[in-house]
Amino acid sequence: MTVRIATAAESMECEMATMATGIAPRTLMERAGQAAAEAIVSRFPLGQWTQVTVATGPGNNGGDGWIVAGLLAARGYRVRVAEAVSARSPDAIGARDRALAACTDSPGSIVLEDNIGSSRLIVDALLGTGSTGTPQGKISPTIESINSAHAAGVWVVALDVPSGVNATNGSADGAIRADLTLAFGTLKRGHLTARDFCGEVLALDIGLTESPAMAALPTLIDTAWAQSHIPVIPWTAHKGTRKRLAVIGGGVGMAGAALLAGRGALRSGIGLLHLIVNRENIGPVHAGVPQALVSAWPEVASDTARVAESSDVIAIGPGLGRSDATRELVERVMLAFNGPLVLDADALNVFENDAASLATLIGNRLAILTPHPAELGRLLGTSVDDVLARRFDIGMELARSVGAVVLLKGTPTVVFVPGGERYVIASGTAALATGGSGDILTGVCATLLSQMSDAGEAAACSAFVHGRAAELCNGVRGITLDDVLEAMPAAWNENATELPAGVLAMLDARK
């Protein structure tokens, strides 16, 4: 099932669409509590984890917690419920009353407590997706107690979002740090921008109805989705069918950028690689990637024409340099070549505040732009802070204005398609937060763009595999881009893991 990424308001809209089909709010709450209880029992089996503390708040997230408490007691767990604030919403009050009434016949028990106590496992059901701002009142000291217990080795499971994490923007002032977050129905944007607070994240199926509201949300890309879209290289393939890529970059002092883009392409299955660099870099680049053809930047029209005629796709930008001469080179290549393009780094920077000219040059061809937030800000004439604050939406402005797919790099990466589709890629680690990482991604994108007919899907698959290769390095400190490149074959050929029943998606804890 496709997993969607929602704001708090969008999540509520999806729930309202489900309730419009005749599903009662209480039923949705019971589904969420049941799904969460099943996940907790699976991860923390009775016998090893006999006692659990559930911390509840006044709203429906607290109601979810009461349902979990009742179901765990029915399974034989000894449950302590620490009510930071008594249930206030009608559904939460009903859940509380039913859990306390049912526990008299349960093999386990429910005991009300004034504090967190000494359990080895705490379930956070204090605040839900509608909560914004720093937690206040009695909730705040309860969160402090839970975080102190967590620091001492107690496991913390959060229901929907860790209390204090803003589900929409990921702000987390005064928030709980969880080991496991159980998201209901959709993943929230805050799960992806506050990964350090969420720990491992499981998106649980609560039976939300497929609706226009759901279909309009961004799609999470996972291994199963990527593997179903990455084209198979047939046994009969040769270098021509695997396509010919020209990478134009590698200015003075920046030969490494072109080298990394080329290595990324070779690790992705390109058939023929042509690296076109500043003349003084030809020797070092050829030595660094002996599999590639290497030549100097085209200086006259006939040179440019030869590059265009001998390429199925061109990637421009890695280490190109930013100058009037760079802009002239980019324009000349784009005018001479009518095929698919990937534009990165300085090939984007030379169009600062001039996206209209870029749109004219792109025309109707397949194209992928791969800006980081600062580069996107330059193209749109806005600040990095604005880009980050609107990272799930802002790229669509550029995608539609220039008629190209926009791959906005970051945590998470978001791909915007002019037709309106959005793909979110949560794979990757901070090992990619280093110079040259984006150059590798450029090579990956260009390879898939040459072999696929859908630029948005090519960009999404490229970003996912790039991030997954970093995850397979099993760490951050001490990992280099050479390690990421070495891990790419495993990332390309990885089989999707079957998820547990009722689990829609799984995000590993940040390392």
Instruction: Concatenate the DSSP letters of all residues of 450-466 into one string.
Output: HH-S-HHHHHHHHHHHH
End-to-end CA distance of the chain: 27
pLDDT at 511: 59
The answer to whether 202 and 186 have CB atoms below 8 angstroms apart is no
C-alpha closest to that of 201 among 210, 209, 192: 192
CA–CA dist 316, 314 (Å, integer): 6
Give the three-state DSSP class for 24. coil
Cis peptide before 58 (omega within 30 of 0): no
Work out the number of other CB atoms within 10 angstroms of the CB of residue 339: 16
In whole angstroms, what is the distance from residue 334 CA to residue 352 CA?
A: 17
Residue 80 is encoded by which pair of tokens?
């302590």
pLDDT per residue as tens, the chain (511 positions): 789 999 999 999 999 999 999 999 999 999 999 999 999 999 999 989 999 999 999 999 999 999 999 999 999 999 999 999 999 999 999 999 999 998 877 888 999 998 898 899 999 999 999 999 999 999 999 999 999 999 999 999 999 999 999 999 999 999 999 999 999 999 999 999 999 999 999 999 999 999 999 999 999 999 999 999 999 999 999 999 999 999 999 999 999 999 999 999 999 999 999 999 999 999 999 999 999 999 999 998 999 999 999 999 999 999 999 888 999 999 999 999 999 999 999 999 999 999 999 999 999 999 999 999 999 999 999 999 999 999 999 999 999 999 999 999 999 999 999 999 999 999 999 999 999 999 999 999 999 999 999 999 999 999 999 999 999 999 999 999 999 999 999 999 999 889 999 999 999 886 5
Reported as type and span, the H/E element at residue 293 is strand 293-296
Q: 417 forms bridges with which residues in the sheet?
A: none
The dihedral sign for the CA sequence 312, 318, 321, 322: positive
Contact 57, 84 (CB under 8 A): yes
Token digits of residue 441:
């991604």
Strand order in the sheet with 109-113: 109-113, 78-83, 51-56, 121-125, 155-159, 180-184, 200-204, 503-507
Q: Please tell me what DSSP assigns to residue 358.
A: H
Element (H, E) at 284: helix 282-288
Check if the beta carbon of residue 341 is closer than 8 Å to that of residue 358: no
CA separation for the pair 382, 372 (Å, rounded) = 13
User: For the chain, what's the residue count?
Assistant: 511
Q: What amino acid occupies position 130?
A: G
